[in-house]
Structure 1
Amino acid sequence: MGFMAREETGTLTSTTARTPGASAARRPSEGATGHVWRTRLLVAGIVLAAVNLRPAITSLGALLEEVREGLGMSGTVAGLLTSVPPLCFAVFGVTAPRLARRFGAGAVVCAGMAAIGTGLLIRPYVGGTAAFLATTALALMGIAVSNVLMPVIVKRWFPDRVGSMTGLYSMALALGTATAAAVTVPVTDALGGNWRSGLAVWAGLAVAAVLPWLAFARERGTAPAGHAPARDGEGPSRERRAPAEAPALRITRSRTAWALAVFFGLQATAAYITMGWMAQIYRDAGVPAGTAGLLLAVTMVMGVPLAFVIPRLAARLPHQGPIVLVLGASGLAGYAGLYFAPAAGAWVWAVLLGIANCAFPLALTMVGMRARTSGGVAQLSAFAQSTGYLISIPGPLLVGVLYQHSGGWGLPLALMAGLMIPQTVVGVLAGRNRTVEDEATPA
């Protein structure tokens, strides 16, 4: 956190001016200390929020067979269940900028964490497929608004740290994803083999994430009171050179926005198919349930170091196309391996697909880089994520249908590999060095 201390020095003058009774000698240190700790609390809140953005999904993926049996689901209905996350992200994510303008980003994220905790706590015990889907949707609603607001928060509060802060919360997101995949089955076994308890336990993590955001929940502005945007070295911040309150853009006229939305949608398709079905692919190949969950965790945990490295690397490159090509090649190799030798090379395929899944932090980084202002990032983030998640909805459901009617994984894996090709193409287009402000006229 040390690098953030100097980011607060730009607010000291205005802070001390509001405390006329304090001594001149004490004003700077008191103001600096308060802002440093406030920044650290904000970073802690971002990290804890990010940790909670995927356990609702990967914990279910690890126990999907038990949930199907317990609720009497068919393969098609299970495919529908794995399609619920992108549907909720598309429907609710588009509301995030409007909610943030009205209530403040901190309040929206705080409410989002509370919704995640509530949904995860009650969904295993409601009984019936419809109620299970509804409570899952409640948790995913909280995830959806937080998904959209994370790039906005980073762009506004840390404009000169977009790569490193995106890497930090992407790494935390990957850590939460991997942890849920790895330990859900062992925790369930430790709790007597009850899958309901194994799913409900993740509500506690969301409750912990609510706490730091309570400090920012009352602030209606884009940034916390008294918190100036970070500076680019000693010069003026990027936010001061390009105000956040820029005119709204006709974002649909931007080719870059469309390329990024399609890239986001196709990588989300691959990610939710992986999270929802990969453990089942291994189990059908004869891999024990615990090992299958661990293999899924390996795929997810690859994102922990790479989600920190890739955004920092991407932020230094004028064109992110080479990174897109590497990720696409890894995905194609992983799917080919699952088709020809799913059990024999299981660990290799898990690693390769883990590398391919790092298209998500890359997409988030490009959202922050393809707009000059925090207002532009808010519009681009909402458009790219909502449109992208709409695109991704049919994928997991189609995999379930193909799996049920073909009786194997050949056709589903062919679909996954086929989608990787257009994902790579549009990713290269989205990675070009341009901004949506240059392409979209003000509304």
Structure 2
Amino acid sequence: MTAPKDDAARRSPAKRRRGRVRSAAWTRRLAVAALVLAALNLRPVVTSLGPVLEEARAALGMSATVAGLLTSVPAVCFALVGSVAPRLARRHGPDGVVLAGMAAVALGLALRPFVGSTPVFLALSGLALAGIAVANVLLPVVVKQRFPDRVGTMTGLYSMALNLGASAAAAVTVPLAGAFGGDWRAGLGAWAVLAAVAVPPWVALARDGRRRAEQQAGQQAGGDAATGAGTHVRVARSPTAWALAVFFGLQATSAYVIMGWLPQVFRDAGLSAETAGLLFAVTSVLGVPLSFVLAAVAGRLRNQSGMAVLLGVFGLAGYAGLWAAPAAAPWLWAVLLGVANCSFPLALTMIGMRGRDGATVIRLSAFAQSVGYLLSVPGPILVGALYQHTGGWRGPLAFVVCLMVPQIAAGYFAGRDRQAA
């Protein structure tokens, strides 16, 4: 008479285990979707504005000086706001902070095209950039916590999505505006829809993160694996952390120079505006597949120094070619610089691998990105000043070539198999 009850009792733990496995698999799929959607929204705030900047300036009465400052605002915002991400993550969990960041991006993108003054436009752009800043810092942390055995692959996946979002916003904003009767405001505001789509997955992930934190709090004092509390690693004293920060900053400098000035270099060399635009598109589009491949390969290696050096050599070759003869082999220079730009996903992968746990990765990501973005601010401005002072590109390009040398050195030290502790 008791056998059926005994069988049910024996089956119950098995059913619970199967339920936990199914729940874990669903959560991992949710995390993949959330990461990709967040990454798609990390650059349209910036890259969607350039194609319609002339119309926006005319409508808002924005001066050329203020428009020029817009190129430096993202890096400054990423540095300053990103530095508070660890404190927010300790209090609300990384998933909850990224959720708030995505909501800020959606709100800023939805409202900024429809205001009538430059200060409010800048403030709403700043709101969206602040959301991006905390996501920049915390996405490597989410990868480390949710996919500890696939850091490189997942970093490559969301880096690929980031490049795709940046390229799509640059290419599609004007056609979107045309679809709404040539209204630049509609072209800009349409990207709020993509940001809004990213919010629901992070709502679910934040709930799961809270459950994980509560469970781990019962096993580990303070729940340090989930929130960063209880582990106090002074990353500012770590040579590895400083190497990562310098590498991140110098690769960002190179990326901003390419985004800001590469088309002008080609146009000044005698190429048409259309050709210059296509060459710039090559450097951007290359990052979509290469980001995934390089980060995935880097994640399987214990030491990424060789990859960092190799990417730096590509950059040296590309800038040297532009310096010597920009019109001689422009497609080759564009490809070389497109490959060199993949230092960004490599830097993100190394951040995830140099921290031994989620708490360390939070601090390391905030430190490397905040210091790195601050380091990147003067570079594009100095390039512009040298160009204006000399009237040509030999001086500015020689300056960028010189910057590639410390980038290679920093990448070599950041890529060694050592923990930032």
TM over 0.5, yes or no?
yes
The question of 1:384 aligning with 2:368 is answered yes
Q: Which residue of 2 aligns with 1:182?
A: 171
CA distance in 1, matches of 2:384, 2:155: 33
CA distance in 2, matches of 1:129, 1:406: 32
Helix, strand or coil for the counterpart of 2:303? coil
Structure exhibiting the larger radius of gyration computed from Cα positions? 2
The partner residue of 1:104 within 87, 93, 101 is 93
Tell me the alpha carbon deviations over residues 111-161 of structure 1, each in whole angstroms, 9 at most, x when there is no partner.
111111222223233344433332221111111000111111111111111
CA distance in 2, matches of 1:161, 1:56: 29
TM-score of the aligned structures, taking structure 1 as reference length: 0.81
Question: Cα 1:227–1:57, aligned 2, differ >3 Å: closer, same or farther?
Answer: farther
CA distance in 2, matches of 1:304, 1:327: 16
Helix, strand or coil for the counterpart of 1:82? coil
Q: Which residue of 2 aligns with 1:132?
A: 121
Moved more, 52-61 or 399-408: 399-408
The question of 1:419 aligning with 2:403 is answered yes
Tell me the alpha carbon deviations over residues 357-407 of structure 1, each in whole angstroms, 9 at most, x when there is no partner.
111111111111212111111111111111111111222333344445555
- For structure 1, list consecutive stretches of 5 or more residues without a partner in the other structure: 1-19, 229-238, 438-443
CA distance in 1, matches of 2:398, 2:320: 9
The question of 1:94 aligning with 2:83 is answered yes
Helix, strand or coil for the counterpart of 1:329? helix
Query: Which amino acid counterpart does residue 419 of structure 2 have in structure 1?
Result: T
Residue 314 (structure 1) shift: 1.8
Question: Cα 1:252–1:278, aligned 2, differ >3 Å: closer, same or farther?
Answer: same
Q: Which residue of 1 aligns with 2:418?
A: 434
Residue 215 (structure 1) shift: 0.9
Q: Is the 8 A contact 2:312 2:408 kept in 1?
A: yes
Q: Which residue of 2 aligns with 1:369?
A: 353
Question: Cα 1:119–1:396, aligned 2, differ >3 Å: closer, same or farther?
Answer: farther
Query: Which amino acid counterpart does residue 355 of structure 2 have in structure 1?
Result: A
Q: Which residue of 2 aligns with 1:158?
A: 147
CA distance in 1, matches of 2:273, 2:113: 20
Question: Cα 1:223–1:43, aligned 2, differ >3 Å: closer, same or farther?
Answer: farther
Greater helix share, 1 or 2? 2
CA distance in 2, matches of 1:262, 1:302: 24
Q: Is the 8 A contact 2:93 2:226 kept in 1?
A: no
Residue 340 (structure 1) shift: 5.0
Q: Is the 8 A contact 2:27 2:205 kept in 1?
A: no
The partner residue of 2:190 within 195, 201, 204 is 201
Residue 226 (structure 1) shift: 7.1
Q: Is the 8 A contact 1:171 1:304 kept in 2?
A: yes
Question: Cα 1:286–1:182, aligned 2, differ >3 Å: closer, same or farther?
Answer: farther
Q: Is the 8 A contact 1:156 1:223 kept in 2?
A: no
Question: Cα 1:32–1:242, aligned 2, differ >3 Å: closer, same or farther?
Answer: closer
CA distance in 1, matches of 2:161, 2:197: 14
Q: Which residue of 2 aligns with 1:43?
A: 32
The partner residue of 1:256 within 225, 232, 240 is 240
CA distance in 1, matches of 2:86, 2:228: 13
Q: Is the 8 A contact 1:123 1:132 kept in 2?
A: yes
Q: Which residue of 1 aligns with 2:313?
A: 329
Tell me the alpha carbon deviations over residues 414-435 of structure 1, each in whole angstroms, 9 at most, x when there is no partner.
3332222211111111112211
Residue 96 (structure 1) shift: 1.2
Q: Which residue of 1 aligns with 2:3?
A: none
Q: Is the 8 A contact 2:249 2:374 kept in 1?
A: yes
Q: Which runs of 4+ in 1 moved over 6 A?
A: 224-228, 239-244
Residue 82 (structure 1) shift: 0.9
Q: Is the 8 A contact 1:113 1:143 kept in 2?
A: yes
Query: Which amino acid counterpart does residue 43 of structure 1 have in structure 2?
Result: V
- Identity of aligned pairs, percent? 60
Aligned residues: 408
- For structure 2, list consecutive stretches of 5 or more residues without a partner in the other structure: 1-8, 218-222
